[in-house]
Amino acid sequence: MMGRTAQVPYPIVQAEAFLPTINPKGHFRREWTNRLGDVCTLEANGVPNHYDLVNLLVFLHVVQQSKEIEKTVIDEDRYKVVMPLSLMYSILGITDTKQRRDLWESLKKLSKIVLEIKYKKPWNHNGVSEIVFLGLTGDLKLIKQRGRTGHILEAKPLRAMVDDRMLTVDVARMVALKSALARITAFFLACRPTTGVVKTWKEWMECVSTGKSEKHFKERFKKALEELGTVGYVVEDRGGSVKIQRPKAR
């Protein structure tokens, strides 16, 4: 898994769309203001969680870097990508029918996400005042078939999601992490300095969780910090604050 990366648009990282939370059934809508003062609105068929985040990263890795897919231009905005889902199975360690079904449900959820961002400072975004992502994977079609390659996925992602040079995220480490807090924290750190980020426990809670109890968060976050340490993150507990330094690019 060494060296697997994905390019992710900065707005998706900065919007804080993937937070650990209860996953309600049916339509979900959330509006919030991120730390940059941008107003974000997310609509989806269920809350996107850390499983969906990792599946999105693996999907982006495959459509951006794999030589085993068919990729053709539809128009100036979108590609048509055809891939054996076994490419994603192997990266995610998927081995049984339930896991395959869960991945497909996750991809469907990602395809229905609408993320809208109204920038507080358009001049920091090349004059763009508002941006809308309609489906993070694009249209999807599942072609079921038997054989070594298994089911085939046809997707129509935005060309910008495939071609643009964006924020590099270490997919291998994100897959290796298992807990929601560890994954969300790692994703949060992806666009922060490699010298590390120092925050109080309460500040970390506000950044990577929807929880309100600092005591409960601290107990869970300590376990997440231990997990981050196993995959190369440097964690320093300073008593009233915590410094986390992400690994250097491999």
pLDDT at 216 over 50: yes
Query: Is residue 111 within 8 Å of 141, Cβ to Cβ?
Result: no
Q: Which residue has the higher pLDDT, 2 or 146?
A: 146
Give the pLDDT band of residue 25 (cuts 50, 70, 90).
low
For residue 245, pLDDT beyond 80: yes
Closest CA to 150 of 138, 139, 142: 142
Q: How many residues are there in the chain? A: 250
pLDDT in tens, 108-140: 989 988 888 899 998 988 888 988 888 889 999
Cβ atoms 209, 32 nearer than 8 A: no
Q: Report the C-alpha gap between 244 and 246 in whole angstroms.
A: 7
DSSP 109: H
Query: How far is it, in rounded angstroms, from Cα 47 to Cα 21?
Result: 8
Q: Give the pLDDT score at 140.
A: 95
Task: Answer whether residue 62 shows pLDDT above 70.
Answer: yes
d(CA 225, CA 180): 12
- Give the residue with greater pLDDT, 123 vs 25: 123
Tokens for 101? 């079904």
Q: How far apart are CA 143 and CA 84, in angstroms?
A: 9
Share of the chain above pLDDT 70, in %: 92
Residues near 65 by Cβ (< 8 Å), separated by ≥ 6? 5
Average pLDDT over residues 183-210: 89
pLDDT at 16 over 90: no
Give the tens place of pLDDT for each residue, 135-156: 889 999 999 887 666 799 999 9
Give 21's pLDDT tier (boundaries 50, 70, 90). Answer: low
Q: Using pLDDT thresholds of 50, 70 and 90, give the confidence band for residue 1.
A: very low
For the chain, the distance separating the N- and C-terminal CA atoms, rounded to the nearest angstrom, is 11
Q: Are strands 130-134 and 114-118 parallel, antiparallel or unpaired?
A: antiparallel
Cα–chain-centroid distance for residue 18?
7
How does the average pLDDT of the chain come out, rounded? 88
> Looking at this protein, which amino acid is placed at residue 2?
M
Residues 168, 174, 176: CA angle, nearest 5 degrees: 140
